[in-house]
Chain A
Amino acid sequence: MPQTLMADKAAFDVDKIREDFPILSQTVRGKPLVYLDNAATTQKPRRVIERVRRFDTEEYGTVRRGAYRLCEHATQLFEDSRQKVADFLGAGNKKEIVFTSGTTQAINLVAYSFGRRFVYAGDEIIISNIEHHANTVPWQVLCEERGARLKVIPVNDAGELILEEYEKLLSDRTRLVAVNHVSNALGTVNPVREITEKAHAAGARVLIDGAQSTPHMKVDVREIGCDFYTFSGHKMYAPSGVGGVFGKMELWQEMPPYVTGGDMIMKVTLEKTTYAPPPARFEAGTPAITQVIGLGEAIDYLNGIGMDRISQYEKSLLEYGSRVLGAIDGLRIIGTAHDKAALISFALDVAHPHDVVTLLDQDGIAVRGGHHCAQPTMVRFGVPATSRASMAFYNKPEELDALAESLQKVIKLFS
């Protein structure tokens, strides 16, 4: 093992971390599971699994609408989780956090509610060429409905946004800029603070899709300055079915509801309904109570390790993985941004990503093959699909060695 990783090992005991994740000790087809699909979804630490079980076993009740003990206690835990999310994202006020089912619903909420209030015919929305479909399609739909135009920031061959081109796209017609913090297909970390400053200078608002950043780095929405910031629980070691969006209170207050029904109203008569203030206005219906409690526990777990230490360790994994995969003849890494998260998208000359994924699975290695819900990104790089190894802080350098060894076998089989 290289010297730098030995040093990191002393600072970050990955073997001990792995003991926190029950699923990681299992075998697949008689081989140890090597889980490298963390950009799709992450595994859960025992703490989260047990917290969720304890809540459902001993503490479960509905939130916000009962006066009995179970309900009051569940409401308290639910709102504690909202505070944990606010602190985790650097938001000033927990009422600026709206829970949704995940990032997809979060972006749809903003597209619908912000769009109905602030976007009109002739206005413009800016996205980038390396967005997930969840940060592309809602804006296409909004633009079509409102007669607005969608503009796209191009990327260079490394997969980095070309900021000079971005500046040319901004104008007094720009209403919103929606880009990811980290690209799920390439791993590019975008300069979101700079992007936000330029958008604000042009009078536009900014949404940052944080689905791929929140699990891997310290995020501070006030430092970034963005108006909205979205996230998904299941990508940050919490249960699936919960996520949310930070939004500036001044905007939430101006925005109409997205989904309507119970829990989001002030008063309903048969003639007219007045809406509750944020965040309740945007949380109609019974929320994912158990999952929100699990999300709070996952945040406590991540804070216990420290997001800066997680980033630092994952950076060393990325460097190691880029080196061992980069040394393979006939393997091309797609996405070579200077600032990159621990994710390696690649193409083999001799084998299609779907064959690669099926064969790696024979060795117990889980990676994703496909277009990663980012077809415009694939078109930009001239490939129908890629294979993608995405890391988490519970991965080890040895697992990347196993990946490289298995890829050599794929190449041999197809040559």
Chain B
Amino acid sequence: MSYDNELYQQVILDHNRNPRNFHAMDNATHQCHGVNPLCGDDITIYVDVDEASQTIREVSFTGSGCAISKASTSLMTTFLKGKSLDEARVVFSEFHRMILGEFDPTIEANHLGKLKLFVGIREYPSRTKCASLAWHTFIGALDRKTEGVSTE
């Protein structure tokens, strides 16, 4: 017997179990600390940006959180590698609107690729911040928010 739902798919469970790029980065050009005070999720995102080409060389993270938060962060780090900063901001906007139910990648053109896996979270309003913490923290890193970001 198992659960019938579109949120906890195998890819998400796998990234929770074996998070990718799960380490601190010594040579990060940008970094930011993000927390969700309501549930205690706490992550740090490290970004290595090639200034000349304005592209992302590497993204990594450390911290703790629920499966949705950890898998979302892990998938984000793999997705962003090699993307330009402009592309990354477009994807952030699409992702954010997707999980709030304001943008439907199943019918609208998008740049989300495998991140579409998280579309099911729009059915769980209390969990959207679990999926978005990584992205807010990543944007916080790019914008050099040294005080960190919070979902509240």
Question: Footprint of B on A, CB under 8 Å?
Answer: 351-355, 358-359, 362-363, 370-371, 378, 384-385, 409, 412-414
- Whole-angstrom distance between the alpha carbons of A370 and B124 in the complex? 16
- Whole-angstrom distance between the alpha carbons of A354 and B17 in the complex? 16
Decide if A352 touches B8 in the complex (CB within 8 Å).
Answer: no
Decide if A414 touches B16 in the complex (CB within 8 Å).
Answer: yes
Q: A355-B8, A355-B67, A370-B38 are in contact. Are A414 and B13 (CB under 8 A)?
A: yes
Provide the residues of chain B in CB contact with A359, threshold 8 Å: 3, 5, 8
Decide if A413 touches B65 in the complex (CB within 8 Å).
Answer: no
Residue on B nearest A405 in the bound complex, by CB:
B1
Residue on B nearest A361 in the bound complex, by CB:
B124
Q: Which of A370, A384, A385, A409 contacts B2 (CB 8 A)?
A: A409
Decide if B2 touches A358 in the complex (CB within 8 Å).
Answer: no
Task: Indicate if B28 sits at the interface (CB-CB under 8 A).
Answer: no
- Whole-angstrom distance between the alpha carbons of A280 and B40 in the complex? 42
Decide if B3 touches A385 in the complex (CB within 8 Å).
Answer: no
Min Cβ gap B63→A in Å is 11
Interface residues on B, range: 20 to 34
- Whole-angstrom distance between the alpha carbons of A255 and B9 in the complex? 59
Decide if A362 touches B1 in the complex (CB within 8 Å).
Answer: no
Provide the residues of chain A in CB contact with B66, threshold 8 Å: 352-355
- Whole-angstrom distance between the alpha carbons of A363 and B1 in the complex? 11
- Whole-angstrom distance between the alpha carbons of A370 and B126 in the complex? 12
Provide the residues of chain A in CB contact with B1, threshold 8 Å: 409
- Whole-angstrom distance between the alpha carbons of A171 and B3 in the complex? 56
Q: Which of B3, B13, B39, B42 contacts A354 (CB 8 A)?
A: B39
Provide the residues of chain B in CB contact with A385, threshold 8 Å: 39-40
Interface string of B65-87 (1 = CB under 8 A from A): 11110000000000000000000
- Whole-angstrom distance between the alpha carbons of A371 and B37 in the complex? 10
Provide the residues of chain A in CB contact with B7, threshold 8 Å: 358
- Whole-angstrom distance between the alpha carbons of A352 and B40 in the complex? 11
Task: Indicate if B147 sits at the interface (CB-CB under 8 A).
Answer: no
- Whole-angstrom distance between the alpha carbons of A9 and B124 in the complex? 38
Provide the residues of chain A in CB contact with B18, threshold 8 Å: none
Task: Indicate if B130 sits at the interface (CB-CB under 8 A).
Answer: yes
Q: A355-B66, A355-B68, A358-B124 are in contact. Are A413 and B8 (CB under 8 A)?
A: yes
Provide the residues of chain A in CB contact with B130, threshold 8 Å: 354
* Extra A-B contacts (4), CB below 8 Å, given A354-B130, A409-B2, A409-B3: A359-B8, A370-B39, A371-B40, A414-B17
- Whole-angstrom distance between the alpha carbons of A40 and B7 in the complex? 26
Q: A371-B40, A413-B13 are in contact. Are A352 and B3 (CB under 8 A)?
A: no
Min Cβ gap A365→B in Å is 12
Min Cβ gap A17→B in Å is 30
Provide the residues of chain A in CB contact with B13, threshold 8 Å: 413-414
Residue on A nearest B40 in the bound complex, by CB:
A384
- Whole-angstrom distance between the alpha carbons of A258 and B42 in the complex? 39
Provide the residues of chain A in CB contact with B3, threshold 8 Å: 359, 362-363, 409, 413
Decide if B127 touches A358 in the complex (CB within 8 Å).
Answer: yes
- Whole-angstrom distance between the alpha carbons of A61 and B40 in the complex? 46
Decide if A414 touches B39 in the complex (CB within 8 Å).
Answer: no
- Whole-angstrom distance between the alpha carbons of A385 and B68 in the complex? 15
Min Cβ gap B73→A in Å is 13
Residue on B nearest A406 in the bound complex, by CB:
B3
Task: Indicate if B152 sits at the interface (CB-CB under 8 A).
Answer: no
Provide the residues of chain B in CB contact with A363, threshold 8 Å: 3
Provide the residues of chain A in CB contact with B64, threshold 8 Å: 384
Q: Which of B1-23 contact A (CB under 8 A)?
A: 1-5, 7-8, 13, 16-17
Decide if A414 touches B4 in the complex (CB within 8 Å).
Answer: no
26 A-B pairs within 8 Å (CB atoms) are namely A351-B67, A352-B65, A354-B39, A354-B66, A354-B68, A355-B66, A355-B68, A358-B7, A358-B124, A358-B127, A359-B8, A362-B3, A362-B4, A362-B5, A363-B3, A370-B38, A370-B39, A371-B39, A378-B40, A384-B39, A384-B40, A384-B64, A385-B40, A412-B2, A413-B3, A413-B13
Provide the residues of chain A in CB contact with B42, threshold 8 Å: 384
Min Cβ gap A355→B in Å is 5
Provide the residues of chain B in CB contact with A358, threshold 8 Å: 7, 124, 127
Residue on A nearest B130 in the bound complex, by CB:
A354
- Whole-angstrom distance between the alpha carbons of A215 and B83 in the complex? 57
Q: Which of B93-148 contact A (CB under 8 A)?
A: 124, 127, 130
